[in-house]
Chain A
Amino acid sequence: MTMTRVPNSLIDDLADDLAPVEPIRLSHGIALVALSAVATVILVELLDGLWRGIVSGQASGVFFIVNGMLGMVGAASALAVLRMARPRVGNTHEGARWSSAMLFLLPLTALAVLGVGGMTTALFDDPYGAGCFLAGAAFGLVTAAALVLWLRRGAPVSLNAAGTYTGIAAGAIGSFAFGLACPIDTIGHLGIWHVAPVALMALAGRFAIPPLVRW
């Protein structure tokens, strides 16, 4: 049985319409995300001022661990999103999934170290908590915008996952950048209020981004 259901005129039209295209390069996407991260850090420096204690040896080990983890989660999730723009049956995003799960270690550590009472205090009596939470999420919007633009150029086929990981990457990079301006380097503060933007942005991304990148 010969299958020539689609009139060849359509194929002829598409062929006639053909113009050379530059394949979407992953390296360009990585450069875009790196630039947005740098721009975010510059924005934090301009608006809040980076914490000079980082270079003068005042920052605790927890400070470097938490911000390092946020940076790594941001990078892994952003990479997953960049790859989603080029669809392929067989694409997996295990790196982003596991590194995001790893972030839950931080509030769990806060709970283990502080106990329920200390955790309650950290949640309800931290005068800077809500500010860091909102600032981290807000600074994440730079990365979110860059990734959404990238996805719109591409052909994402897992829209909900693309939205969620865009949110995670944005929240993590935003919180990482703002973390460089925050001198409160205890696990009670960082493990809760600097991780919360990632959860918020993941949720926001899951619902807000699919309509923006649908094609």
Chain B
Amino acid sequence: MIADEASMAQMMAASQKGDRAMYRALLIEVQLWLERYFRKRVAPAQLDDLVQEVLLAVHAKRATWDPTRAFYPWLAAIARYRWIDHLRKVYRSAEDELGDHDAAEDSEEEAVMARMSLERLFVHLPDKQAEVIELVKIEGLTISEASAKTGQSESLVKVNIHRGLKKLSALVEKAE
């Protein structure tokens, strides 16, 4: 059962003061809430990434919640913002996939081309971020496989993917 507004506000207020136990409990509730919130609005395979992105956003922007106001409207605003960001990314990758349907399945050349076009954007990323995005988002490795291959912890792989995609997304936006 997901916690009510009053409990969430109480936990968030404690979290802003640095209470880690409360924060951990809060994040678990937030995770459950987000999974329900997004369940029918993103592809099941992409749910993890999106929930994780929102959790990172909640963490980074926790000072922007006003303790005198409700918690869920704040969380929902952040969740919507990230969701829209996510849709942009999904839209672009869907376009790439459509193109691939016309080509021979698993065409080596197509894969190389896709990588080439992303390579140009990767110039703007730190190597660690570019490396894990390439492994996970292009080659399709799991987080743990990418973690084993790069020596980065699983959390770091996720954080680096998140940060890298954010930068890439900003670059794409700028081009528009």
Contacts and interface: CB of A to CB of B under 8 A. Distances in A.
A15 B21 CA distance: 8
Which size bracket describes the interface of A in this complex? 35 or more
B31 A157 contact: no
B23 A18 contact: yes
Contacts of B35: 3, 5
Contacts of B15: 18
Contacts of A20: 16-18
A154 interface: yes
Interface in A145-171: 153-155, 157
Which size bracket describes the interface of B in this complex? 35 or more
Contacts of A153: 63
Interface of B is mostly: helix
Interface stretch (A42-50, A84-92, A136-144, A175-183): A84-92
B52 A10 contact: yes
Contacts of B67: 23
A199 to B, nearest CB: 24
A12 B55 CA distance: 12
Contact of A9 (B48, B81, B154): B154
A155 B55 CA distance: 14
B174 interface: yes
Given A12-B24, A155-B64, 9 more contacts: A9-B154, A10-B155, A11-B31, A21-B16, A86-B66, A88-B77, A89-B76, A157-B81, A211-B170
